[in-house]
Structure 1
Amino acid sequence: MDICRLSAEAALARMETGDLTARDLVQACLDRIADREDAVGAWTFLDPDLALSQADAADQRRRDGQAGPLNGIPVGIKDIIDTADQPTENGSRLCAGRRPDRDATLVTLLREAGAVIMGKCVTTEFALSAPGKTRNPHDPARTPGGSSSGSAAAVGDFMVPLAIGSQTGGSMLRPASFNGVYGLKPTFGTISRAGMSPLSRRLDHPGIFARTPEDVALAARVLMRRDPADKDMRGHAGLGEADPLTAAPRLMFVRGPAWERGEADMQRAIEDLARGLGDVVQEAELPPVFDAALACHGMVMNGSVVQALGPYYDRDRAGLDPITADRIERGLTVTSREYLDALYQAEAMQDALAGVFDGIDAILTPAAPGQAPRDLSRTGDASFNGYWTLMGAPAASLPLLKGADGMPIGVQVVCPWGEDAKLLRICRWLSDKVGEWR
């Protein structure tokens, strides 16, 4: 196996035995990037010498017996997350040349764990919808999704084993689906957002891309740490340990309020999967309060965008991508009454969802409408993710299905709040039971 194709877990095991060095791993990833970046366009900043110097430091720590849990593992960072030694430009020409003076909290945690901060991955402008240069690694005529476009594509193309993204609507789980990788949107308030460009305090979630559930868990154990700089962090910020699955999980297949927006091949594939799992899956619909879920998420997000990005709009509207400017203008029409009503509706949905989880371990539902669209001017439809983001419950996209053109389609798994470790165990169970899309 090419070194760049190793999972983080496998690479760490080989480094522990002395069969692999961090420099070897990082160089293999750099070689892969050099070979594929022109086709994929996952990176907005990459300094090979900086990456290799971090790898050499990781090798020295291992020789000194001071290796951390991610020692020598290359990690891509979405370009809305501050890095003191690399630019953070938020995917916007209005932030060109921006150099933060300190790392985001999650970057600090990665460095403390020994990770190599490989570079900055392409984001849509300010993590909204205006696409960057990234293409889908499995078909360059298709979108990689967004807003975490480069992070998902870099993992899907074996450029790095791990990458960090974020989700306010569907910016983790939709790209995970389109690029055929695992994506975790953890319980709201379990990974710090300090040092991350905000869109919505109520909705923003940092997340993790990887090619195995075990690698997601490796990164989550490092990142799920309480941070007083993020006022919304929950008391159960650690990943914790889930009890081993001694029996098949109890699953519920939910089509959800966005079902009619799905493509026929996706609908057939996920219905076949649910039927094929047999008695471990029951089928149900969400309570009627969820009929307003899509509109409710849109109201909260659009209202928040004005607060977060209004200063850029006021300063230089013409400097924004027209897609970004239009989204801000839609937010300007949201009244305070509408915004507050949407928040109250969201609380009612959360209460109803708690009842849905009684007697089951997880919900199975689509992660995207279908395969990645052949349209590089847009990043796809986030309808299947936004209302789950609004709920704040942990959700993952698993690369289990294949569409009519042979492209990956993700299955979204949602667990109760704080049960992120159980979610990752269920991801592994499903992957072993069903097999991945390839």
Structure 2
Amino acid sequence: MTELNELTASEAARVLASGEASAEDMMRACLDRVAARDETVRAWAFLDPELALASARAADRHRKAGNSRGPLHGLPVGIKDIIETADMPTENGSDLYRGQRTGRDAECVARLRNAGAVIMGKTVTTELANTCPSKTRNPHNPEHTPGGSSAGSAAAVADFQVMLALGTQTAGSVIRPGSFNGIHALKPSLGLIPREGVLMQSHTLDTVGVYGRSVEDLALITDSMAAFDASDAFSFGGRRSSLTADLNLETPAPRFAFLETPAWAQADAGARDAIERVVDGLGARCVRESLPSPFDRILDFHATVMAAEMLTYYGPDAEASPGKVSDLLKARLVAARNVRAGDYVEAQLARGAINGALAALLDRYDAVLCLPAPGAAPKGLGSTGNPIFNGLWTYLGVPCVALPRLSLDGLPLGVQLVGKPGEDGKLLRTARWLDRELAG
């Protein structure tokens, strides 16, 4: 029999709603797993078992009184520690914010609570959600990186310590850890989930994303948070629909455009072979395609935008307290000072042309299929891995999904799908079809 902590979030929600188990039972199962594995995986930046259990008991009392709060009622959720929580510290993985308690929830956390979620704790992030590796280990092999910057969230879901967790992505911080840890991950359209109360690194790139154990899980938690934020110029203002409802629409079997992308040369031979087998297995449903220039320069465009905006947000604090910033981040900030204003403007303007070409391609296909990382999680803990297969899509603000259906050298490797901005529901529906196809 499947242990409570090993259920998908969608399964767990049904178990809780039926009364087969309580929210306290669910939380205890998760906490027991943490106790057994924390020394190895190290996924949590803050975890107070008594607070978590008290919150679970409160959810049970609400349900017993006939006051189910929403689709996440009683489900434990992990929150990346750059996202504010009223009753827990938010330290951003940095000595700059050690001991910080803001006393408020980020908008996405407030929406999770309104949907009935029980906030279990804060998961480990790399320093300021940037490049410096964290203490977290890959649960499949602790000698390998779990990726970053959403290291704790991905590892905790993969290790059955929590069913759902939040991450963020500025380059590859949701999709790459999803691939490395062998779980389902969604980086939604830019601004689909509100960013208020989330540490800002780049206002044109930062995106709140989610982890789960099925495509249905991704839809379930995203539906609970998606909302327009009038205070954020990059909040998605288009038509919104229920992603869960979109999953159930009857549509023809999808077609895929396979893109090597400009990152292809940096992929491991094994990763190339693995994704090529997926392409070949899909037959006529998957066609090799390409995009015109300036798509060939997109990696540089993303790097330019990220560097300039990171310097804007992190530079002043790093200069004020240099002893509280790692040498690795300092070096990145120094390099960012070499970004020229003209290059930054060019990179911002190029986004429209590339998005137009991608949209035209996706008028003929249901999703782009590509690698989510150059390979499986690298051995060693001195790096979080290369985000080169992710940053280009983050730059475009398009939704991306990682599916845990490949492996390489005994470690997970995902498959990445990409859709049009605002068509997250269609992308998830397409992803579920492929997920089932690859699962056999």
| TM-score, scaled to structure 1 | 0.97
Where do 1:270-419 residues align within 5 Å? Answer: 270-403=275-408, 405-419=409-423
Give CA-to-partner distance per residue, 1:124-148, whole Å, 9 cap, x none.
Answer: 1000010110000000000000000
Per the alignment, do residues 230 and 64 of structure 1 end up closer, same or farther by CA in structure 2, a change over 3 Å counting?
farther
Aligned pairs for 1:11-90 within 5 A: 11-67=12-68, 68-90=70-92
Are the aligned partners of 1:221 and 1:238 in contact in 2 as well (CA < 8 Å)?
A: no
Matches of 1:48 and 1:228 in 2, distance apart? 36
Distance 1:386 1:212 in 2: 24
Shift of 1:245: 4.2
Q: Which residue of 1 aligns with 2:119?
A: 117
After superposing the two structures, state which structure 1 stretch, 10-19 or 39-48, moved more: 10-19
In the aligned structure 1, how far is the partner of 2:433 from the partner of 2:236?
Answer: 27
Residue by residue over 1:376-404, the C-alpha shift from the partner in whole angstroms, topping out at 9 and shown as x without a partner, is 0110000000000011111111111111x
**Deviation at 1:348?**
1.7
Q: By how many angstroms is 1:231 displaced? A: 2.9
Residues 5-14 or 347-356, more deviating? 347-356
- Rounded to whole Å, the distance in 2 between the matches of 1:289 and 1:3 is 49
Which digits, 9 at most, give the CA deviation of each residue in 1:328-353, with x for residues without a partner? 11111112212111111222211221
* SS of equivalent residue, structure 1 residue 285: coil
* Structure-2 separation of matches of 1:383 and 1:316: 30
Alignment match, 1:178: 180
Q: In 2, are the aligned partners of 1:79 and 1:88 still within 8 Å (CA)?
A: yes
The two structures have a TM-score, normalised by structure 2, of 0.97
Shift of 1:227: 2.2
After superposition, the C-alpha distances for 1:272-301 in whole angstroms (9 at most, x for unaligned) are 111101111111122221110101100000
The one-letter code of the counterpart of 2:436 is D
- Which amino acid in the other structure matches residue 419 of structure 1? E
* Contact 1:224/1:239 (<8 A) preserved: no
Which stretch shifts more, 63-72 or 260-269? 63-72
Query: 5 Å matches for 1:97-116?
Result: 97-116=99-118
Q: Distance in 2 between matches of 1:358 and 1:107?
A: 35
Amino acid at match of 2:7: L
CA shift digits 1:173-222 (9 cap, x unpaired): 00000000011000111111100000000000000001100011000110
Aligned-residue offset at 1:236:
2.9
The equivalent residue for 1:431 is 435
CA distance in 1, matches of 2:355, 2:252: 28
The answer to whether the 8 A contact 1:190-1:237 is kept is no
Q: Measure, in 2, the Cα distance between the counterparts of 1:138 and 1:258.
A: 26
Bigger mean CA deviation after superposition, 237-246 or 248-257: 237-246
Q: Does the CA-based 8 Å contact 1:91-1:125 persist in structure 2? A: yes
Letter in 1 for 2:395: L
Residues 225 and 237 of structure 1 are in contact (CA less than 8 Å); yes or no, is this contact kept in structure 2?
no
Q: CA deviation at 1:319?
A: 1.6
- SS state at 1:288 partner: coil
| 2:270 is equivalent to residue 265 of structure 1 | yes
| TM-superposed deviation, 1:318 | 2.5
Give unpaired runs (5+ residues) of structure 1.
none
CA distance in structure 2 between the partners assigned to 1:25 and 1:228 by the alignment:
36
- Number of residue-to-residue matches in the alignment: 435
